[in-house]
């Protein structure tokens, strides 16, 4: 019984680490230079201490990919990947209250404009034909 419990816990940790590794690979494909220019233009990091726009973006993307239902899920999920946070460009996992506060107070237009920049660059690489597509479900970011 104890062996089975430890085995299940190990498998869950291994699965989470695999997902974090995949998530860090996805995050590495985002152009941080374009994002930084947009942050300077919108001045969303002007009075921030520790929880910058990049950390907020990564937290919200984690929320989507992990299908999180609450800020607790986001905070605990990122906290469980303590060794891999530096690969995501984050110093430490944000707390629940910090995520909640930033969701309420940070300018959402930053993420809207960055989304449209990403959407505009899809299919623009050499050798790929641009494909039009419609997103049928709501996107929460």
Q: Where are the domains of the chain?
A: 2-121
Encode pLDDT of 85-120 as tens digits: 777 888 888 899 999 999 999 999 999 999 998 888
What number is the average pLDDT over the span 65-89? 83
CA distances 133 to 44, 122, 130, 136, Å, are 31, 11, 10, 9
Q: Which residues of 30-56 are buried (b: 16+ CB within 10 A; e: fewer)?
A: beeeebeebbeebebbeeeeebbbbbb
What number is the average pLDDT over the span 46-57? 88
Q: What is the DSSP letter of 49?
A: S
- Average model confidence (pLDDT) across the chain: 78
- Stated pTM of the model: 0.70
């Amino acid at each position: 019984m104890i062996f089975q419990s430890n085995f299940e816990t190990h498998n869950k940790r291994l699965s989470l680490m695999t997902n974090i590794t995949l998530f860090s690979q996805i995050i590495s494909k985002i152009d941080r230079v374009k994002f930084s220019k947009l942050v300077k233009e919108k001045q969303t990091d002007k009075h921030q201490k520790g929880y910058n726009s990049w950390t907020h973006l990564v937290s919200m993307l984690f929320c989507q990919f992990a299908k999180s239902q609450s800020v607790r899920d986001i905070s605990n999920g990122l906290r469980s990947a303590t060794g891999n946070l530096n690969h995501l460009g984050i110093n430490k996992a944000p707390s629940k209250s910090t995520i909640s506060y930033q969701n309420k107070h940070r300018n959402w237009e930053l993420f809207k404009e960055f989304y449209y920049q990403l959407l505009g660059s899809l299919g623009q690489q050499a050798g790929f034909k641009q494909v039009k597509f419609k997103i049928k479900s709501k996107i929460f970011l």
